[in-house]
Structure 1
Amino acid sequence: MLNISPTKLNEKVDLMRFEAAQKVFHRRHYKYFNRFLLASAIITLVVLFLPWTQNITGAGYLTTLNPDQRPQTIQSPIPGRLEKWYVREGDFVAAGDTILFISEVKNEYFDPRLIERTGLQIDAKNRAVFSYEEKVRALENQIGALENERRLKLEQAKNKLLQSKLKVQSDSIDLEAAKTNIAIAERQYNRTTQLQEEGLKAVTDVEAKRLKLQETQAKLISQKNKLLASQNEVLNAEMEIGRVQAEYTDKVSKAQSDLFTAQSSQFDSEAQVTKLENERANYELRSEMYYIRAPQNGFINKAIMAGIGETFKEGEELVNIMPSDYDMAVETFVAPIDLPLIHLDEKVRIQFDGWPAIVFSGWPNVSYGTYGGKVVAIETFISPNGKYRVLLAPDEEDHPWPADLRVGSGANTIALLEDVPIWFELWRLLNGFPPNYYTPYDGVETAKK
């Protein structure tokens, strides 16, 4: 009913005579309610000025601090077939313990005496290399002998050439002497003939001088022939030097050609020996790969390839192993807007799944069941989930983490930031502002200007 009339009905009608009105309009109820509202307002006002620790919450899981301590799978670098298991799931294995034995599936490695036969091939090739080395040594000796013989032959031919030249000089002198003799014989013959015509010499004297002249002429012709023969010998000696040089050059060249051929065969055999030794080393290493061994101390989690006789390719996962010695850590994720607020060595509170806890995110000192951690690594590239990964290690100044924690279990993290009043935090949340940007105090005092 609208109260629009100037005549007020409540002033003319007494409602207190009714039982319902007496219960509703009793004055003492207003008194208690007003006291309650006043107390609530005072408490709310006081609470608004209480300190509140800004924080960044995140969800993650337990992992290990070092990469080599995390669960890993064991693969085989060669293809094969499962033959025998030496462990069961859950067994503890030490580094180097045999986990699995496999056999070959490629036909080029089926021979059980492959390494031995490769060794025999290497021995045969080594003997071939030795033979070629001996042949090279013999050819080098042969080339040395040919060089020495050529040197001696050339010396002999040069000596013969020198003798021929000296003989040419001697024959030239004899030719000049014969010319002188024939001139003398002609003058004597002419004088004797003139004297015989004058009657001073007998005819026999003239004939004697004519005979001597003829003999001298014969000697001159003979000496000319000797000179020509000596000159011919010089030419022959020079030709002999060229012939010896050409002959032994051909012999030495042929021996060097044989030497280079032998050296080439030797180098080829040495290359084959090296290749065979490489193959034998590969075969030996491959035979050791038939036994799949544990890379470190740990527990067998799961046999991925289980059946006997089952084949697999190289690099295929065979068994999963969890290292027994590891340093626990927590891997959590923060939003990009909160990443500038995370710093190395910053304190973080952690709640582990399975451990009861009472958490007050704004009052970490009042929380119960949380454990301390510190930031040891911050990822510089965003993860596929749209957040940045942060790695947390146990805080040595806080109480230790539970001993029964297992890698892979969940964890909730609270990164503690700046202390602000509650009213400021409510105002920040209503406006959607990020927490206050700050740099943690490092204990170094800055000089005031």
Structure 2
Amino acid sequence: MLNISENISHYSKSLRKYQNVQNLENRPHYKILNRIITTVSILAVVALFLPWTQNISSTGAVTTLKPNQRPQSIQSVISGRIERWYVQEGDFVKKGDTILFISEIKEDYLDPNLVTNTQNQVTAKKQALTSYTNKVNTVSVQIQAIENEKKLKLEQANNKIKQSLLKIKSDSMDLEAIKTQVKIANTQFNRSVQLNKEGLKPVTDVEEKRLKLQEVDAKIITQENKYLTSKNEYINSKVEINRIGAEYSEKVSKAQSDQFTALSNQFDTEAQVNKLENQYANYSIRNGLYYIKAAQNGYINRALQAGIGETIKEGTPIVTIMPSEYDVAVETFVNPVDLPLIKKGEKIRVWFDGWPTIVFSGWPEMSYGTFGGEIVAIENFISENGKFRVLIAPDPTQDKWPKQLSIGSGAQTIALLNTVPVWFEIWRILNGFPPDYYKTKSKLSKNNKEKK
């Protein structure tokens, strides 16, 4: 009311002349109420300037730090039929302990002596391989013997050629000697004829010289025949060398052909041996897969398959096991708007369901029952719930987390940011701004200087 009307002012003044109105103004509880209102208002104004720690709150669950420490399912590598259980739910098993035994259901592996028969096949093929190897070695020795014999035959033929050349030379010299004898005999015959005409030599001497000339002429024909025979022997020796080379080349080619055939059989047998050894190893390993064993120490949580005689396929989960040794961590989720504020290595406060806790999000130093954590991983892809997954490990500089924590139990986290006045936090929430997201130019320039 602006109290402009004079009538109203006059009316209010007229009320004060009454004793009851004066008594109402002088009552003490109204003064106390006014003081309380005044005090509360002053405290509220003062509280607006109190420090408030900005934070990002989220919920999550207890998990393990390493993937191999998380609950896992044990699967069957091969298909089979359940024959016997060795454990029950809640049992503790060590690495390598038998959990389940299954029997074979595929017709290719039903033979109980499959491994032994395969081993016998491998042994037989190895013996065949040894035989082919020995044959290859024998043929190699045979080829070497043929080569040695060829070498000796060629040496013999070369010697024969040399003998033929020497004989040709000898016959040639004999032929020249006989030709000389012919000239001498002819000269003597002519001289005898001349002397006979002059009466100096008798006719018998002339006849004797004629007979000797005829003998020498006969010898030259014989010697020429021997000379030509020697030449033919030389030519035949050369032909013999060619024949020896062709004959022994054929023998070597035939032996090499046998050797290559043996080598081909050897290589084929080696391939069959490798294939059979591979099958033998596969069958031996498959026999070991009938016993499904624990991959690590842990507790049997739940049997996913039940009964005796039930058939399972390869890759079918059979039981779930919880490792007995694990490093505890907390898996939480943050909103996309808060993701830029979360960094790896940042400190986090954590409290767990079932653990006595008193939490003041704006005044963490006044909280009770919270534990220190440190961000070790931030998922770069959004999860199905529309948030980003963050993994938190215990802070080694803070108190240890409770040993009574169970994997999967609930947890809540607070990421502590900057400390601001209460009025600023109220203003930020009313305007829908994220905490500590906008930075002043002075801070940015300071950070840049520190980086330089």
- Common fold, TM-score beyond 0.5? yes
Distance 2:135 2:226 in 1: 52
CA 1:188/1:321 → structure 2, altered by over 3 Å: closer, same or farther? same
| More off after superposition, 29-38 vs 353-362 | 29-38
* Deviations 1:350-385, CA, capped at 9 Å, x for gaps: 221233433211112222333332223333444343
Partner of 1:392: 392
Distance 2:194 2:23 in 1: 208
Paired residue secondary structure (2:191): helix
Paired residue secondary structure (2:208): helix
User: What is the CA-CA distance between 1:404 and the residue it aligns to?
Assistant: 2.5
Q: How does 1:8-157 map to 2 (within 5 A)?
A: 8=8, 11=11, 31-157=31-157
One-letter code aligned to 1:402: P
Paired residue secondary structure (2:364): coil
Distance 1:202 1:335 in 2: 157
Partner of 1:279: 279
CA 1:324/1:23 → structure 2, altered by over 3 Å: closer, same or farther? farther
* Deviations 1:105-134, CA, capped at 9 Å, x for gaps: 221111111111111111111111221122
How many pairs does the alignment contain? Answer: 441
One-letter code aligned to 2:400: P
One-letter code aligned to 2:426: L
Paired residue secondary structure (2:45): helix
- Answering whether residue 329 of structure 2 is matched by residue 296 of structure 1, we say no
Partner of 1:443: none
User: What is the CA-CA distance between 1:397 and the residue it aligns to?
Assistant: 4.1
Distance 2:398 2:181 in 1: 138
Paired residue secondary structure (2:401): coil
Partner of 1:341: 341
* Deviations 1:187-227, CA, capped at 9 Å, x for gaps: 12222222223333222222222211111111111111111
User: What is the CA-CA distance between 1:283 and the residue it aligns to?
Assistant: 1.1
Paired residue secondary structure (1:115): helix
Distance 1:179 1:252 in 2: 50
CA 1:438/1:311 → structure 2, altered by over 3 Å: closer, same or farther? farther
Distance 1:31 1:25 in 2: 9
| Contact 1:341–1:438 (8 Å) recurs in 2 | no
User: What is the CA-CA distance between 1:30 and the residue it aligns to?
Assistant: 5.6
The two structures have a TM-score, normalised by structure 1, of 0.90
CA RMSD between the two structures:
3.0
Distance 2:12 2:300 in 1: 93
Partner of 1:421: 421
Paired residue secondary structure (1:252): helix
One-letter code aligned to 1:353: D
* Deviations 1:38-70, CA, capped at 9 Å, x for gaps: 122111012112221111111111101122110
Distance 2:437 2:13 in 1: 66
Distance 2:137 2:36 in 1: 119
User: What is the CA-CA distance between 1:9 and the residue it aligns to?
Assistant: 9.1
Distance 1:282 1:111 in 2: 14
Distance 1:44 1:79 in 2: 73
Distance 2:203 2:79 in 1: 129
Segments of structure 1 that go 5 or more residues without pairing to the other structure are 440-445
Distance 1:363 1:346 in 2: 18
**Identity in percent:** 61
Q: How does 1:236-247 map to 2 (within 5 A)?
A: 236-247=236-247
* Deviations 1:233-254, CA, capped at 9 Å, x for gaps: 0000000011111111111121
| More off after superposition, 292-301 vs 340-349 | 340-349
Paired residue secondary structure (1:329): strand
Paired residue secondary structure (1:424): helix
One-letter code aligned to 1:377: A
User: What is the CA-CA distance between 1:311 and the residue it aligns to?
Assistant: 2.2
CA 1:13/1:52 → structure 2, altered by over 3 Å: closer, same or farther? closer
Paired residue secondary structure (1:40): helix
Distance 1:435 1:5 in 2: 52
One-letter code aligned to 1:80: G
One-letter code aligned to 2:55: N
Partner of 2:351: 351
The two structures have a TM-score, normalised by structure 2, of 0.89
Distance 1:180 1:430 in 2: 148
CA 1:199/1:397 → structure 2, altered by over 3 Å: closer, same or farther? closer
Segments of structure 2 that go 5 or more residues without pairing to the other structure are 440-448
CA 1:411/1:274 → structure 2, altered by over 3 Å: closer, same or farther? same
Partner of 1:327: 327
| Contact 1:81–1:102 (8 Å) recurs in 2 | yes
Distance 2:317 2:24 in 1: 79
User: What is the CA-CA distance between 1:182 and the residue it aligns to?
Assistant: 1.2
Partner of 1:406: 406
User: What is the CA-CA distance between 1:25 and the residue it aligns to?
Assistant: 8.8
Paired residue secondary structure (1:435): coil
CA 1:131/1:289 → structure 2, altered by over 3 Å: closer, same or farther? same
User: What is the CA-CA distance between 1:438 and the residue it aligns to?
Assistant: 10
Distance 1:208 1:16 in 2: 210
One-letter code aligned to 2:204: T
One-letter code aligned to 1:418: N
* Deviations 1:388-431, CA, capped at 9 Å, x for gaps: 32222223444433332211121110111222211121122122
Distance 2:9 2:200 in 1: 219
Partner of 1:316: 316
| Contact 1:418–1:438 (8 Å) recurs in 2 | no
| More off after superposition, 199-208 vs 245-254 | 199-208
Distance 2:383 2:172 in 1: 111
One-letter code aligned to 1:204: T
| More off after superposition, 210-219 vs 430-439 | 430-439
One-letter code aligned to 2:283: Y
